[in-house]
Amino acid sequence: MIKKTVQSVTDALEGVSNNMTFMLGGFGLCGIPEQAISELVKRDIKGLTCISNNAGVDDFGLGLLLQNKQIKKMVSSYVGENDEFERQMLSGELDVELIPQGTLAERCRAAQAGFPAIYTPAGYGTEVAMGKETREFDGKMYVLEHAFKADFAFVKAWKGDEAGNLIFKGTARNFNPVMCGAAKITVAEVEELVPVGELDPNQIHVPGIFVQRIFQGKNYEKRIEQRTVRIR
C-alpha cells in the first residue's frame, strides 16, 4: 500500500505559492474543500488563478480569498449570489473566464485523462467560442476546448483511506472526482479518514492513484446556501 496520509492541512498544502493555479471542488458551498481554503487564507498567498464552478459567497468558501484580494483570475461557470465577486469583476480588478459548466467539468477530466483538448457543442455561436477553433462533425458545430493545467487540485470527500481512495456523499461529489489527478498535486480532505481495508473496493468513487495527499479535516461547517423546506 502506498500511503498518502499527511498529518495536517499545513502539511497538505506544502509547496503552494504565489501566482499558482488551483482547482477547487464544490458546487456552490456543497462539497468545497473548507480546510484547504482556510489555510490558503491564513497563508495569504496572492496572484492565484482558481478553477472552480462557483466562487463561494461573500463570507464563506472562495469568497474569503476574494475578500482578501488573493485571487487574480477566476475560471467559473456561475458567479451569481456573490456581491464581492460581481463587484471585482465589473470593476476589472478580477480577471474572470466564464465557461459552460459541462465544459469546465470536461476540461478537468481531459487533464485527468490525458486528452489535450476536447470538442463540445456548448457555446458554439456565442462569445464563449470567440477566437476558438470550431469544427463540424456530422452536420453539427463544435468548439475546441483545451485541458486545464493546474498546480494543485483541492478536493473534499466524505470518506477516504490512507491509500487515497475516496467516497463522496450526495451532491457533494460534483466536480471533486474530475479534479482528482487533473493537477500536478491533488490534495484530498475528508470528513473521515480510515485505515486501508475498511472501505469496500466496490464502493470507491476515486481510486487513490489520483490523490497525492490526504488528511482528515476538523469541524466542517458545511454551510447551506439556500435552506429550503416544506411544511409538514
Partner 1 sequence: MLDKIGIAKRIAQEVKDGYYVNLGIGIPTLVANYVRADIEVEFQSENGVLGMGPFPFDGEEDADIINAGKQTITTLAGASFFDSATSFAMIRGQHVDLTILGAMEVSEQGDIANWKIPGKMVKGMGGAMDLVASAQNIIVAMMHTNKVGESKLLKRCSLPLTGVGCVKKIVTNLAVLEITAHGFKLLERAPGVSVNEIRNATAGQLIVDREIPEMSL
Stretch that binds partner 1, among 15-23, 35-43, 96-104, 210-218 (CB under 8 A): 96-104
Site for partner 1 in 176-205 (CB under 8 A): 176-178, 205
Among 29, 65, 111, 157, which residue interacts with partner 1 (rule: CB under 8 A)? Answer: 29
CA–CA gap between residue 77 and residue 103 (Å, rounded): 9
Nearer to partner 1, 16 or 57 (CB): 57
Q: Are strands 185-194 and 213-216 parallel, antiparallel or unpaired?
A: parallel
Task: Give Cα 123 distance to the centre of its chain.
Answer: 21
Q: Residues of 31-47 as b/e, b for ≥16 C-beta within 10 angstroms?
A: bbbbbbbebbeeeebee
* Number of residues located near partner 1, criterion CB under 8 A: 60
Grid coordinates of 92: 476589472
The site map against partner 1 for 102-131 (x = CB under 8 A) is xxxxx-xx----------xxxxxxxxx---
Q: Find the binding residues for partner 1 in span 50-79 (CB under 8 A).
A: 53, 76-79
Does residue 24 interact with partner 1 by CB under 8 A?
A: no
- CB-based contact 64:205 (threshold 8 Å): no
Residue from 5, 46, 158, 184 that binds partner 1 (CB under 8 A)? Answer: 158
User: How far apart are the two ends of the chain, measured CA to CA in Å?
Assistant: 50
Q: Does 81 bind partner 1 (CB under 8 A)?
A: yes
According to the 3-state scheme, what is the secondary structure of 24-85? ECCECCECCCHHHHHHHHHHCCCCEEEECCCCCECCECCHHHHHCCCEEEEEECCCCCCHHH
Q: Give residues 159-178 in contact with partner 1 (rule: CB under 8 A).
A: 168-178
- Report CA torsion sign: 165, 17, 150, 104: positive
Q: How far is the CB of 176 from partner 1 (least distance, A)?
A: 7
- Smaller CB distance to partner 1: residue 48 or 111? 111
Q: Which of 12, 89, 153, 211: binder of partner 1 (CB under 8 A)?
A: 89
Binding of residue 216 to partner 1 (CB under 8 A): no
List b or e across 116-137, with b for residues whose CB sees 16 or more CB atoms inside 10 angstroms: eebebebbeeeebbeeeeeeee
Least distance in angstroms from the C-beta of 109 to partner 1 = 5
* Binding positions for partner 1, rule: CB under 8 A: 27-31, 53, 76-81, 86, 89-90, 96, 98-106, 108-109, 120-128, 158, 168-178, 205, 222-232
